[in-house]
Chains A and B, each alone.
Chain A
């Protein structure tokens, strides 16, 4: 038996263990009742407001967990994060008697999304209000055709807002443009650099979640200890990386790390 990735295997396992320690260290105090401070995030406050408004108007909010799949396709982590946020959004919707229309680009995502939404309606005691047709399977891993389907949903009169949290690329703009044409408020987020500027330009910076903010959404929406601990562990890991980068810059500046290429720059 040998290590598949060579010495890198040890580094990866070490990094994962460090992250795991951060996670457990952050989780224990939260379970004991300590509430961490979360900086206000307007986009997620807006998401709650949109669902509340749709309950008042009797219309529905469109939700998409992205174009990523759960079967090893790119965007699995984003899809999982989008589905966790969907659970929190469905809980808010079920409690406020609002409707969500959920669209998916993958059969597995469709099945999980269906289960997540149904579970929230059952837990809230509104099993009868759950409509299987509110969950829509649009395409199987075809980003452009999927966005065309989303554009059609956004064009429906009953849709009052657009929420898209997951993996999206430049094709998001087709949906964003349709939402703008109908003056639909949006809350959007993607981990892809191709989509971020388009989302900011289309939905506005206050309604856009950039990069890791999208992964923070579940913690903000449901405030479960496990999600809060995960968020704090991310912050600690980021702080560790920042410290390592600063130390690396100082070491390279003072010639303690000559082999990273700094001597060539001189």
Chain B
């Protein structure tokens, strides 16, 4: 009986794969089946968000109760999460829609996010310096190549025009060739991984 139970997920998988592929490759056979499935997954995902929220609460409450390092930040995180949830609920109850949560997003989250992203410029320089310090051939080549391309893009004057040509040559030939090679390999890897799952042979759910 247990053996039959093990095959049920496989049967569902093969049926779903057949219908989704038929929907993708043909018109008029099983139209919009993929879209309907994607909608189902979105609904399940929405419910699962509560499970995720439960995990966040569990991890951070444990840290607060055990007075572990960073307990203060855990408290701030939980209070913030609660504030956003309350703002969303209150907005809906009072008929204000998402105006409260939109305000939080626009004036608190977005500036913080942009600030964090802008840090990357400084980290990039620090990482380049570190790569040079390590002194491996690959890291050094990487930094030297980056410097040539960077200086080639700058309009300092005639002195950099040769560098500009060199930079363009770099990007048109060695870099483009390497990128295409990597992209072909990556695409093959993605196909292989997807195929394993579509065939049901990477079947961790059957254990």
Contacts and interface: CB of A to CB of B under 8 A. Distances in A.
Interface stretch (A46-54, A58-66, A170-178, A256-264): A170-178
A234 B192 contact: yes
Interface stretch (A33-41, A92-100, A208-216, A246-254): A208-216
A119 B25 CA distance: 36
A80 interface: yes
Interface string A146-177: 00100010011100000000000011011011
A69 to B, nearest CB: 8
Given A107-B45, A200-B139, A201-B142, A19 B195 contact: yes
B58 A211 contact: no
A78 B29 CA distance: 30
Given A108-B41, A211-B185, A233-B192, A4 B55 contact: no
- B interface secondary structure, majority: helix
Given A1-B26, A180-B130, A211 B195 contact: no
Contacts of B196: 226-227, 230
A71 B35 CA distance: 11
A83 B47 CA distance: 21
B48 A111 contact: yes
A1 B69 CA distance: 63
B192 A4 contact: no
B165 interface: no
A107 B52 CA distance: 6
Contacts of B24: 4
Given A3-B27, A119-B207, A174-B116, A152 B45 contact: no
Contacts of A4: 24-27
B96 interface: no
Contacts of B93: none
A58 to B, nearest CB: 16
Interface in B161-205: 179, 182-186, 188-197, 201-202, 204-205
A7 interface: no
B51 A111 contact: yes
Contacts of B113: 144-145
Contacts of B143: 201
Contact of A238 (B41, B59, B185): B185
Contact of A197 (B142, B185, B193): B142
Contact of A84 (B29, B190, B193, B205): B193
Interface in B128-161: 128, 130-131, 134, 136, 138-139, 142-143, 146
A200 to B, nearest CB: 6
Contacts of B49: 107, 140
Contacts of B139: 200-201, 204-205
Given A3-B25, A3-B26, A174-B123, 15 more contacts: A4-B24, A9-B26, A19-B192, A70-B41, A107-B51, A115-B204, A152-B73, A174-B116, A193-B183, A197-B146, A200-B131, A201-B128, A210-B182, A226-B196, A233-B192
Interface of A: 1-5, 9, 12-13, 16, 19-20, 23, 70-72, 77-78, 80-81, 84, 87, 107-108, 110-111, 115-116, 119, 123, 132-133, 135-138, 140, 144-145, 148, 152, 155-157, 170-171, 173-174, 176-177, 180, 191, 193, 196-198, 200-202, 204-206, 210-212, 214-216, 226-227, 230-231, 233-234, 237-238, 241
Interface of B: 24-29, 38, 41-42, 44-45, 48-49, 51-53, 55-56, 58-59, 62, 69-70, 73, 113, 116-117, 119-120, 123-124, 126-128, 130-131, 134, 136, 138-139, 142-143, 146, 179, 182-186, 188-197, 201-202, 204-205, 207
